[in-house]
């Protein structure tokens, strides 16, 4: 397991950009995609979870839809490449 990794650390690391609830949604979603023993970290690249550039928009729309949040636009998804980026975008969608 990554040193100091886990939900509490993930939420704390993202407290400047996302609520604990949004951070937990992102953590839980990507934990299901992660290799066992390697929980998500904010700086993780989405490619670590098997998402190619074309998959990112669909994956983010899936997360937003499950939560009842607004679906991100193509423009909003541009440049999203790490879990920190995902959390920031999801935070904005959850407030819309």
Q: Please name the residues in contact with 49: beta carbons below 8 A apart, sequence gap of 6 or more.
A: 30, 33, 34
Count of domains in the chain? 1
Q: Which two tokens stand for residue 80?
A: 């999203």
Question: pTM of the prediction?
Answer: 0.88
Query: Residues 87, 7: contact at Cβ < 8 Å?
Result: no
- Does the residue 43 lie in any domain? yes
Q: Which two tokens stand for residue 33?
A: 């995609």
- Does the residue 37 lie in any domain? yes
Q: What is the pLDDT of residues 39-93, one digit of tens each?
A: 999 999 998 888 887 889 999 999 999 999 999 999 999 989 999 999 999 999 8
Query: Residues 22, 90: contact at Cβ < 8 Å?
Result: yes
- Does the residue 51 lie in any domain? yes
Provide the pLDDT for residue 29: 93
Provide the pLDDT for residue 54: 80
Provide the pLDDT for residue 5: 80
**Structural domain for 41, as ranges:** 7-94
CATH number reported for the structural domain that contains residue 52 in this entry: 1.10.1200
Is residue 1 pLDDT above 60, yes or no?
A: no
Is residue 25 pLDDT above 60, yes or no?
A: yes
Query: Residues 56, 83: contact at Cβ < 8 Å?
Result: no
């Amino acid at each position: 397991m990554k040193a100091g990794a886990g939900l509490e650390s993930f939420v704390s690391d993202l407290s400047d950009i996302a609520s604990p609830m949004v951070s937990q949604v992102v953590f839980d979603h990507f934990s299901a995609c992660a290799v066992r023993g390697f929980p998500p970290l904010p700086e993780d690249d989405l490619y670590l979870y098997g998402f190619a550039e074309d998959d990112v928009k669909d994956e983010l729309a899936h997360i937003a839809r499950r939560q009842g949040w607004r679906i991100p636009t193509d423009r909003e998804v541009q440049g999203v490449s790490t879990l920190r980026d995902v959390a920031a975008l999801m935070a904005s969608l959850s407030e819309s």
